[in-house]
């Protein structure tokens, strides 16, 4: 297949590029390099520099005969989306619509969206399956939900088949050690822990130890980025073969606490990693754990590298 990864120079995009190349697919990367890095793009990808907000560069890239587009070009900081909604409206909604309409105009019939567990909001039950009500707690999550809605309409009206992949907490680095890029100015737990381990941050702030969880700290479902990347390839192949849209959760189905992550990072790195308990971060649920039964059933997907040890060691070794 010929696959264009929009936002392919980012953290998940570059790992997804590796997975498609490993599967002998032809890969293009379209990126504006605002947060992604050229150095992240694996060899063998054709690079198109451009922006989803710029019709001319987008049209030029989309008209190169792609079988599928994977859309990973979104801002993703949930907290920032509450402070600067315009930034998220513009890029995540208007930009995504430019991309979707560009695809139908260029005859592209398969679309893979990097969506998020943030579409669910505060969980009403656990594990969260795809029938769980969607009620985003932050604007970022709403932008993802909104694009899922537009895709459902474009499926009905224009036969654009889509796979919406609702990621839980992406973590880790390429299992074969081929990825060296570190995200710039990360806000997510594991990169922050690692920056503290190497001394570029003074200490880790633990956002609350009074949650109703195993040790009082927040629990999340961490999914290794190599497992996530593999799901994109399976989704593209599924759309190609079955011509039927799907929405699936991608998670490991197990919950890890902030404290467990920190303990394992201290063990693997051999560094002290200073930490201090502070107040809860606004909008953080106590616990999020996925059911990924549907992805297993539909895509034959199974996380292989999402255990705590592999997630932390693949991050530390970078």
> Which of 152, 205, 268, 318 contacts ligand UD1 by CB under 6 A?
205
- Among 188, 190, 285, 303, smallest CA distance to 248 is for 303
Q: Is 178 in the site for ligand UD1 (CB under 6 A)?
A: no
Of the two residues 214 and 281, which places its CB atom closer to ligand UD1 in the complex? 281
> Which of 23, 284, 293, 296 contacts ligand UD1 by CB under 6 A?
284
Q: Is 139 a catalytic residue?
A: no
Which of 96-104, 127-135, 202-210, 228-236 is the region at the interface with ligand UD1 (rule: CB under 6 A)?
202-210
Of the two residues 124 and 281, which places its CB atom closer to ligand UD1 in the complex? 281
> Which of 206, 228, 236, 299 contacts ligand UD1 by CB under 6 A?
206
The pair phi, psi for residue 26, each rounded to 5°, is -90, 125
Cα 220 from chain centroid?
14
Residue nearest to ligand UD1 (CB): 218
Of the two residues 187 and 198, which places its CB atom closer to ligand UD1 in the complex? 187
Q: Is 258 in the site for ligand UD1 (CB under 6 A)?
A: yes
> Which of 35, 188, 213, 254 contacts ligand UD1 by CB under 6 A?
188
Out of 88, 140, 167, 211, pick the active-site residue. 140
Q: Is 218 in the site for ligand UD1 (CB under 6 A)?
A: yes
Distance CA 252, CA 289 (A): 8
> Mind telling me the catalytic residues?
140
Q: By CB under 6 A, name the binding residues for ligand UD1.
A: 76-78, 116-118, 138, 141, 169, 187-189, 192, 204-207, 218, 220, 258, 281, 284
């Amino acid at each position: 297949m010929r696959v264009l990864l929009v936002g392919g120079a980012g953290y998940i995009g570059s790992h997804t590029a590796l997975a498609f190349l490993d599967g002998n697919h032809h890969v293009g990367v379209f990126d504006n390099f605002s947060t992604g890095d050229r150095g992240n793009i694996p060899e063998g990808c054709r690079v198109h520099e451009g922006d989803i907000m710029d019709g001319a560069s987008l049209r030029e890239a989309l008209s190169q005969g792609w079988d599928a587009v994977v859309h990973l070009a979104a801002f993703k900081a949930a907290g920032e989306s509450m402070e600067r909604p315009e930034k998220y409206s513009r890029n995540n909604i208007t930009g995504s619509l430019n991309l979707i309409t560009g695809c139908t105009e260029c005859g592209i019939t398969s679309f893979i969206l990097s969506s998020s567990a943030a579409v669910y909001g505060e969980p009403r039950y656990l594990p969260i399956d795809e029938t769980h009500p969607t009620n985003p707690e932050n604007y970022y999550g709403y932008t993802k939900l909104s694009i899922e809605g537009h895709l459902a309409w474009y499926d009905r009206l224009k036969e654009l088949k889509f796979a919406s992949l609702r990621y839980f907490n992406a973590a880790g680095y390429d299992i074969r050690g081929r990825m060296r890029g570190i995200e710039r100015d990360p806000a997510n737990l594991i990169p922050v822990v690692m920056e503290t381990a190497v001394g570029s941050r003074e200490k880790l702030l633990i956002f609350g130890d009074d949650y109703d969880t195993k040790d009082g700290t927040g629990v999340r479902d961490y999914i290794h980025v190599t497992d996530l990347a593999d799901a994109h390839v399976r989704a593209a192949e599924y759309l190609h073969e079955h011509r039927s849209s799907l929405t699936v959760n991608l998670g490991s189905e197990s919950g890890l606490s902030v404290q467990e992550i920190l303990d394992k990072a201290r063990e693997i790195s051999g560094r002290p990693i200073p930490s201090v308990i502070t107040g809860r971060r606004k909008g953080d649920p106590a616990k999020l754990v996925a059911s990924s039964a549907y992805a297993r059933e539909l895509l034959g997907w199974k996380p292989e590298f999402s255990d705590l040890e592999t997630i932390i060691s693949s991050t530390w070794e970078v």
